[in-house]
Structure 1
Amino acid sequence: MQKNFKSVFALILFLSFQNIAFAQKKPNIIVILADDMGYSDLGCYGGEIPTPNLDKLAQNGLRLTSFYNGARCCPTRAALLTGIYSHQAGIGHMMEDKGVDHPAYRAQINNTSVTIAEVMKDAGYFTAMTGKWHVGQAQGTVPWKRGFDRSLNAAAGGFYYGAGKVAKLFLNGEELANDSDKLPKEWYTTDLWTDFGLRFIDEGIAAKKPFLLYLAHNAPHFPLQAPQEDIDKFKGKYLKGYEKLRQERYEKQIKLGLIDPSWKLPPANPNIPKWETLSAADKEKYDHMMAIYAAVIYRLDKSVGDLVAGLKKRGVFDDTVIMFVSDNGGNAEPGIEGKFEGDKPGSAESAVFIGQGWAEAACTPFWAYKHHTHEGGISSPGIISWPAGIPASRNGKFEKQPAHITDIMATLVDIGGAKYPTTYHGNTIQPLEGTSLKPLLSGKSINRKNPIFWEHEGNRAIRDGKWKLVAERPEEWQLYDIDKDRTELVDLAAKYPDVVKDLSAKYDVWFKRVGAEPYDRNFKWFYDYDKAKKEAASLK
Structure 2
Amino acid sequence: MTNSRLPRFVIFFCTFCFLFSFGTHLSAAEKPNIILIMCDDMGYSDIGCYGGEVETPHLNRLAREGMRFTQFYNNAKCTTTRASILTGLYPRFGKGGHMRQNMVTLGEAMKVAGYHTGLSGKWHLMRTKGYAKSKYPGGWIDRYDKTTHPFFRGFDSYYGVLDGCCNFFDPTISDPPYKRAGIRSFGHDDKAVTQFKDDYYTTDAFTDHTLDMIQRYSKDEKPFFIHLCYTAPHYPLHAKPKDIAKYVGKFKMGWNQMRKDRWRRIQKMGLADENWSLSEGDSRSYAWETANHEFEDLRMAVYAAMIDSMDQNIGRIMATLKATNQLDNTLVLFLSDNGGCSEEPGGRDPNKRNPGPKDDYVAVGPSWGWAQNSPFRRYKSWVHEGGISTPCIAWWPGKIPAASINRSPAHIIDLMPTFLEMAETEYPKTYQGHDILPVEGTSMLALLKGEEKSLHDSLAWYWSGNRALRQGPWKLVWDSQVKEWELYDISADRCEINNLAAQHPERVKQMTKDWFAWADKVELRSKLKADRKKKK
Among candidates 419, 423, 428, match of residue 435 of structure 2: 428
- C-alpha distance in 2 between matches for 1:336 and 1:144: 34
Is 1:444 aligned to residue 444 of structure 2?
no
Residue number in structure 2 paired with 1:493: 501
Residue number in structure 1 paired with 2:136: none
- C-alpha distance in 2 between matches for 1:136 and 1:412: 24
Instruction: Please tell me whether the aligned partners of residues 66 and 403 of structure 1 are also in contact (alpha carbons under 8 angstroms).
Output: yes
Instruction: Please tell me whether the aligned partners of residues 457 and 472 of structure 2 are also in contact (alpha carbons under 8 angstroms).
Output: no
Residue number in structure 2 paired with 1:48: 53
Which range is displaced more, 309-318 or 335-344? 335-344
Cα deviation for residue 82 of structure 1 reads 0.7
Residue number in structure 2 paired with 1:532: none
Is 1:164 aligned to residue 169 of structure 2?
no
Among candidates 279, 282, 296, match of residue 286 of structure 1: 296
Is 1:387 aligned to residue 394 of structure 2?
no
Instruction: Please tell me whether the aligned partners of residues 168 and 358 of structure 2 are also in contact (alpha carbons under 8 angstroms).
Output: yes
Residue number in structure 2 paired with 1:242: 255
1:470-526 deviation per Cα after TM superposition (whole angstroms, max 9, x unaligned):
11126221111111100001111222223223322221211111111317559xxxx
Residues 319 and 439 of structure 1, relative CA distance in 2, 3 Å threshold: same
- C-alpha distance in 1 between matches for 2:112 and 2:296: 49
Instruction: Please tell me whether the aligned partners of residues 107 and 136 of structure 1 are also in contact (alpha carbons under 8 angstroms).
Output: no
Query: For residue 390 of structure 2, what is the amino acid of its counterpart?
Result: S
Instruction: Please tell me whether the aligned partners of residues 35 and 218 of structure 1 are also in contact (alpha carbons under 8 angstroms).
Output: yes
Residues 201 and 257 of structure 1, relative CA distance in 2, 3 Å threshold: same
Residue correspondence of structure 1 range 286-325 to structure 2 within 5 A: 286-325=296-335
Is 1:203 aligned to residue 216 of structure 2?
yes
- C-alpha distance in 2 between matches for 1:30 and 1:341: 42
Residue number in structure 1 paired with 2:133: none
Residue number in structure 1 paired with 2:108: 118
Among candidates 345, 349, 353, match of residue 359 of structure 2: 349
Residue correspondence of structure 1 range 454-493 to structure 2 within 5 A: 454-473=461-480, 475-493=483-501
1:244-285 deviation per Cα after TM superposition (whole angstroms, max 9, x unaligned):
11110011101111112331112222443322233xxx1101
Local SS of the residue matching 2:327: coil
Cα deviation for residue 19 of structure 1 reads 1.7
- C-alpha distance in 1 between matches for 2:431 and 2:455: 26
Query: For residue 145 of structure 1, what is the amino acid of its counterpart?
Result: F
Query: For residue 12 of structure 1, what is the amino acid of its counterpart?
Result: F
Residues 18 and 337 of structure 1, relative CA distance in 2, 3 Å threshold: same
Residues 147 and 340 of structure 1, relative CA distance in 2, 3 Å threshold: farther
- C-alpha distance in 1 between matches for 2:158 and 2:43: 27
TM-score normalized by the length of structure 2: 0.87
- C-alpha distance in 1 between matches for 2:477 and 2:273: 21
Residue number in structure 2 paired with 1:506: 514
- C-alpha distance in 1 between matches for 2:454 and 2:45: 28
- C-alpha distance in 1 between matches for 2:352 and 2:201: 18
Which range is displaced more, 137-146 or 59-68? 137-146
Instruction: Please tell me whether the aligned partners of residues 435 and 447 of structure 1 are also in contact (alpha carbons under 8 angstroms).
Output: no
Among candidates 61, 75, 80, match of residue 75 of structure 1: 80
Is 1:30 aligned to residue 35 of structure 2?
yes
Residue number in structure 1 paired with 2:202: 189
Is 1:360 aligned to residue 350 of structure 2?
no
1:28-79 deviation per Cα after TM superposition (whole angstroms, max 9, x unaligned):
0111111000000011111011111111101111101011111101010011
Q: What is the root-mean-square deviation of aligned Cα atoms in Å? A: 2.5
Residues 336 and 465 of structure 1, relative CA distance in 2, 3 Å threshold: farther
Which range is displaced more, 151-160 or 307-316? 151-160
Is 1:143 aligned to residue 150 of structure 2?
yes
Instruction: Please tell me whether the aligned partners of residues 345 and 363 of structure 2 are also in contact (alpha carbons under 8 angstroms).
Output: no
Local SS of the residue matching 2:218: helix
Instruction: Please tell me whether the aligned partners of residues 43 and 373 of structure 2 are also in contact (alpha carbons under 8 angstroms).
Output: yes
Residues 471 and 108 of structure 1, relative CA distance in 2, 3 Å threshold: closer
- C-alpha distance in 2 between matches for 1:333 and 1:255: 31
Residue number in structure 1 paired with 2:180: none
- C-alpha distance in 2 between matches for 1:454 and 1:308: 34
Local SS of the residue matching 2:293: helix
Query: For residue 164 of structure 1, what is the amino acid of its counterpart?
Result: I
Residues paired across the two proteins, number: 498
Query: For residue 36 of structure 1, what is the amino acid of its counterpart?
Result: D
Instruction: Please tell me whether the aligned partners of residues 444 and 455 of structure 2 are also in contact (alpha carbons under 8 angstroms).
Output: no
Local SS of the residue matching 1:203: helix
1:200-232 deviation per Cα after TM superposition (whole angstroms, max 9, x unaligned):
122222243110101011011010101011111
Instruction: Please tell me whether the aligned partners of residues 37 and 332 of structure 2 are also in contact (alpha carbons under 8 angstroms).
Output: yes
Cα deviation for residue 11 of structure 1 reads 7.8
- C-alpha distance in 1 between matches for 2:207 and 2:529: 38
Residue number in structure 2 paired with 1:220: 233
Query: For residue 458 of structure 1, what is the amino acid of its counterpart?
Result: G
- C-alpha distance in 1 between matches for 2:441 and 2:349: 37
Local SS of the residue matching 1:190: helix
Cα deviation for residue 107 of structure 1 reads 4.2
Local SS of the residue matching 2:461: strand
Local SS of the residue matching 1:406: helix
Query: For residue 195 of structure 2, what is the amino acid of its counterpart?
Result: N
Cα deviation for residue 317 of structure 1 reads 1.3
Cα deviation for residue 343 of structure 1 reads 7.4
Residue correspondence of structure 1 range 393-408 to structure 2 within 5 A: 394-408=401-415
Percentage of identical aligned residues:
38
Residues 315 and 449 of structure 1, relative CA distance in 2, 3 Å threshold: same
Local SS of the residue matching 1:206: coil
Local SS of the residue matching 1:311: helix
- Any unmatched runs of 5+ in structure 1? 93-101, 523-540
Local SS of the residue matching 1:219: coil
Among candidates 174, 184, 193, match of residue 176 of structure 1: 193
- C-alpha distance in 1 between matches for 2:262 and 2:309: 20
- C-alpha distance in 1 between matches for 2:492 and 2:429: 40
Local SS of the residue matching 1:29: strand
Local SS of the residue matching 1:469: strand
1:102-158 deviation per Cα after TM superposition (whole angstroms, max 9, x unaligned):
42xx44511110100000001110000000010015342211110000110211222
Cα deviation for residue 21 of structure 1 reads 6.8
